[in-house]
Structure 1
Amino acid sequence: MRFFLNWLLTAIAIAIATFIVPGIAPFGPADPWLSFAFVGLFLGLVNSLVKPLITVISLPLTCLTVGLFQLVVNSFMLELASWLSVNLLGSGISISGFGAALMGSIIVSIMCTILGVATSD
C-alpha cells in the first residue's frame, strides 16, 4: 500500500512541476495524468535502483560541493525516468534542457516532501 501512495504522490509532484516549469510538458498520446503516472513509476524505480550507485560514485564531488551536486544527480534521475517512460511506454514528459530538469527536480523533491509530511501517520 505504501508503494502506491508514494507512486501517487510522485505523480502529483511531477504534475505540479510540469505546470510550474516552462520547459517540462506532458508527451505522448495518453492522457497527461497517465503520463505523470508513468514517469512517477519510472522515477521510483530509478531512484531505488540507479540513484544509490550514482550517489556513491559521485560522493567525492558531493562532498566537495557540500551536497549541492545531489541536485545534479536528482536532475539526471528525472531525465532518465522521463526518457525511460517515453521510450518504453510511449508516453511521459518531455524536458527541454538541463535547466528545466534542475528546476523540475527541485520542485518534485519539495512537493514530495510536503505531500509526504501531509500524509504521514
Structure 2
Amino acid sequence: MKWWQRVLLNTVIFLVLANFLNGFYVYEWQSAVLAAVILSVLNAFVKPIITIFSLPFTLVTLGLFYFVINGLMIWLTSYFVTGFGVRSFGQAILVSIILSLVNSLVTTE
C-alpha cells in the first residue's frame, strides 16, 4: 500500500472511530488528514527509536508492549494536531489496536 493510500485509509478510520468512541474526537476532516500525516511521520522516524529502546519490555511481554508503543504514537499525534485527540492513554491504545486491525485487514502486501 502506498503512503498516500495509507494516509487516506487512516483518515477514514479516524473519522469513523470519532463517531463510535466516546474518548476519541476529531472536530474536522482536515484535522483527521493532518493527524494521519503526522502519525505516518511519527511512525517513520520516532517509532523505530522507541521500539529499539523498549525491546526488553517487548520481549518480556511477548510483543504486547508494542500496543503501548502504538498508543504512544496516537497520543503524540493528538499532542501535535489541534482538533484531534484522546481523553486517556487507554483510549489511545484502543484506537491504535483498531487502527492496526483495520490496516492489516485492508493491506494485502
Task: Judge same fold: TM > 0.5, yes or no.
Answer: yes
Identity between Structure 1 and Structure 2 (%): 31
Which secondary structure state, in structure 2, belongs to the residue aligned with residue 52 of structure 1? Answer: helix
SS of structure 1 residue aligned to 2:84: strand
Question: Over aligned residues, Cα RMSD in angstroms?
Answer: 1.6
Q: How many angstroms apart in 2 are the aligned matches of 1:111 and 1:43?
A: 16
In structure 2, the gaps of 5 or more residues are none
Matched, 1:97 2:93: no
Question: 1:96 Cα shift?
Answer: 0.3
Q: Which deviates further from its counterpart, 99-108 or 39-48?
A: 99-108
Q: Which residue in the other structure is 1:113 paired with?
A: 104
Q: Which of 52, 59, 63 matches 1:63?
A: 59
| Alpha-carbon distance in 1 for matches of 2:107, 2:14 | 14
Number of paired residues?
Answer: 109
C-alpha displacement at 1:59, in angstroms?
Answer: 0.2
Distance (Å, rounded) in 1 between the aligned partners of 2:26 and 2:61: 33
1:2 pairs with 2:2: yes
1:36 and 2:27 correspond: no
- C-alpha contact (below 8 Å) 1:17/1:108 kept by paired residues: no
In structure 2, the residue corresponding to 1:25 is in which secondary structure? strand
Note the C-alpha offset of 1:38. 0.8
Question: What is the CA deviation profile of residues 88-116 of structure 1, one whole-angstrom value per residue up to 9, with x for unaligned ones?
Answer: xxxx4121001211111111111122232
Q: Is the Cα–Cα contact under 8 Å of residues 14 and 26 in structure 2 kept in the other structure?
A: no
Task: Using structure 1 for the length normalisation, give the TM-score.
Answer: 0.82
Regions of 4+ moved over 3 Å = none
Runs of 5+ in structure 1 lacking a partner? 87-91
Structure scoring higher RCO (CA < 8 A, sep ≥ 6) equals 1
Measure, in 2, the Cα distance between the counterparts of 1:112 and 1:14: 12
